[in-house]
Amino acid sequence: MTNSALVMAKHTKRKKLYIFIAFFILAGICNAIMRGNNALFASLMFSLNFSIYGGLLVYWMESVRVRLLPTRCRAYILTSAVLMLFFLILKICKYRVFSNIITPSRYIEYLYLIPTLLIPTLFLMASICISRGEDINDKGSEKLLLIPSVLLCFLAITNDLHKLVYMPRVDLSEFCVNTGTYTTGIILYLIYVWIAVMALYAAVILFRVTRKRPGKIVFWMIAVLLMWAALECVRIFILIPLDLPRMYNTPEIRTFSMLAILEICIRSRLIPHNENYAGFLSGLKLPVLMTDGKMAPVFCSAVTLKASDEEMRSALDFPLYTDEYTRLSGIRVGAGYVFWNEDEKELHKATRRLEEANAILSEENDLIRVENELKEKKARLDAEAKVYDRIASVIYPKQKRIEQLLESIDPKDTDFGARLGEACVLNAYSKRKSNLLLISQDNLPKSNRELYLALQETARFLKCCGIEAAAVGEEYTDFPLSYVHELYDDFETLIEAWLPYLKRLTVSLTEEGIRIAAELTEAAKFPDMALFVKSTEADGFTFLTIYGNKGGEGK
């Protein structure tokens, strides 16, 4: 399939070349039979001649645009083709539109020099690009060649001002650049030298590039150059002196000779192209098929693509699955279509493996989440257990003492009330101490009344012992939790030590700690306390302050 497609492609190219040459010869015949007395026939042949030349140039320009990659070299070639078309348009203007008007005819002769100068310059620039290649680091230094060319074009167009190109022997009003009416100026010689240098330098570059390439590139280039020279010689030395009909004039000879050289460069793959479909596709292991506009196969890859015409047409709109794993896609290119198959079997397997892996990961994530929840619950229970253990260790002595008191008292005893009141005081401490131990520094507000509530509850239960007790004054403090514990523990220690001697007691909070005013039945010693205590006596009352770890004289 690939070999037959390649043969078909070569046959198509050769057929197009033959048609191009046939039209070129037909245009030459039209030019040769143009001369005659019948003006209508001459005009018809002239129009047909130009239409063929213009059509051939436009067709070739479009083929260059499609065949070549968008490089600087392609831009130079297309610009040259535009100038070639401009050359032919100038010919029409000179011999058909302004044939009897002197001034326009003269300026057309000046304008002739623009394509004459720029086409060889662009040809040299394209040759430099062919020699160097389209290097991304090259900024297009060959464009500097346009500066002298454009300057010479400007001097040619402004010849009427300086007369350095054509030096007229007649008045400008009668000067239309006919033979014998001018002498050659120094700028015109410079133009001829510049054109010759550009053409020769380009030829040297191309011969240097093509000499090591296989095929007959050099042969065809030499053949075109010789044919170009032969046509010019025949026209100058035979047809013009004998006034014989001629098929081609100077513009056509120059234009299509240059076109032939450029076409040789393109077909010899000297310029980056996108037309070697057969060579590209033949090495592909991916099933690819290139068809013409009627879905007839033109090129195919080493692996055959199997699909019906209906499936391929459907694939042009959106990818189509011809079976469970094969994805058919298509796209329009040039004058045909390209279709390719993608085997998604491995992709499906990878997708299934990924789904299985995701399922396993999901199960593992669920297990990890449950495990983390259990760890969190266990940590919370452990923390609570530690708190409860701490509470138990702190409260146990008090609870043991309460138990002993309750077991030892008898309702018939005279000290039953005092002993029961003592148990109530100890129980109040146990309750409030437990509450304080359940609080942490993080959840304790900066200004809180936890210490005041503990003091108030102890004072309330002291009344069960027959003691007039009360907590008064400011309720809120900003002591740290550790100071709250120490103050309350020292207060409880003092109460338990003085309980047999207490008659009245008033307790309040200050910025320094706890302020106590107590009336005792007799003098009592101070128990050992962790904090500093200051005390004074006046009017039968003992006044003391338990400092919140801020100093004082210990008593």
Query: Among residues 291, 310, 343, which one ends one of the domains?
Result: 343
Whether 300 shows a pLDDT value over 80: the answer reads no
Least confident stretch, 8-12, 167-171, 489-493: 8-12
For residue 290, what are the β-bridge partners?
299, 338
DSSP code of 10? H
- Helix 250-267 and helix 39-67: axis angle, to 10°? 20
Residue 212 lies in a domain: yes
Confidence bin at 4 (pLDDT 50/70/90): low
User: Which residues fall within 8 angstroms of residue 461, CB to CB, at 6 or more apart?
Assistant: 421, 424, 425, 427, 428
Based on the fold, state whether residues 291 and 264 are members of the same structural domain: no
Same-domain pairing of 286 and 223: no
Is 195 part of any domain? Answer: yes
Mean pLDDT (whole number) for 351-376: 87
Q: What is the mean pLDDT of residues 144-166?
A: 90
292 pLDDT band, cuts 50/70/90, is confident
pLDDT band at 135 (very low <50, low <70, confident <90, very high): low
Residue 5 lies in a domain: no
pLDDT of residue 554: 38
Based on the domain organization, do 473 and 542 belong to the same domain? Answer: yes
Same domain, 494 and 450: yes
For the stretch 523-527, contacts whose Cβ atoms lie closer than 8 Å and that sit 24 or more positions apart, written own/partner, are 524/497, 524/498, 525/497, 526/494, 526/497, 526/555, 527/493, 527/494, 527/496, 527/497
- pLDDT, residue 234, reads 81
| Residue 489 sits in the same domain as residue 518 | yes
Higher-confidence position of 154 and 303 = 154
- Domain boundary, last residue among 242, 272, 302: 272
SS3 assignment, position 428: helix
Domain span including residue 323: 279-343
Answer yes or no: is 288 within a domain.
yes
pTM, two decimal places? 0.52
pLDDT tens-digit map of 399-439 = 777 777 777 776 767 667 677 777 787 787 788 777 777 77
Instruction: Say whether both 205 and 331 belong to one domain.
Output: no
Last-in-domain residue among 290, 311, 343: 343
pLDDT tens-place string over residues 21-50: 898 889 888 888 877 667 788 788 888 888
Helices (H), 409-464: 416-438, 450-462
215 and 321 share one domain:
no
State the pLDDT at residue 1: 38
Specify the pLDDT at position 553. 40
More confident of the two residues 176 and 381: 176
**Residue 253: which H helix or E strand, with range?**
helix 250-267
- Residue 9 has what pLDDT? 60
Can you tell me the mean pLDDT for 171-189? 85
Q: Is the pLDDT of residue 190 over 90?
A: yes
Confidence at residue 276, expressed as pLDDT on a 0 to 100 scale:
59
Q: Which of 123-137, 266-280, 308-322, 355-369 has the lowest mean pLDDT?
A: 266-280
> Which CATH number characterizes residue 539's domain?
3.30.565.10
What does pLDDT average to over the chain?
80
pLDDT bracket for residue 148 (50, 70, 90): very high
List, in order, residues 6 or more apart from 352 with CB less than 8 Å away: none
Q: Place 338 in a pLDDT band, splitting at 50, 70 and 90.
A: confident
Query: What is the average pLDDT across 251-261?
Result: 79
Q: Is residue 94 part of a domain?
A: yes
**155 vs 163: CA distance, rounded Å:** 9
Is 227 a domain residue? yes
What pLDDT, on a 0 to 100 scale, did the predictor assign at position 186?
92
User: Is residue 28 a part of any domain in this protein?
Assistant: no
Specify whether 303 is located in the same domain as 205: no
314 and 230 assigned to the same domain: no
How many domains, the chain? Answer: 3
Q: Do 80 and 182 belong to one domain?
A: yes
Whether residue 2 has pLDDT greater than 50 = no
Rounded CA-CA distance 463/421 in Å is 8
Residue-wise pLDDT tens digits, 72-82 = 888 888 898 89
Residues 305 and 175 in one domain: no
User: Mean per-residue pLDDT for 486-492?
Assistant: 86
Query: What pLDDT shows up at residue 484?
Result: 86
- DSSP category for residue 481: H
pLDDT-based confidence at residue 279 (cuts at 50, 70, 90): low
Q: Does residue 285 share a domain with residue 263? A: no
Whether 429 is in a domain gets the answer no
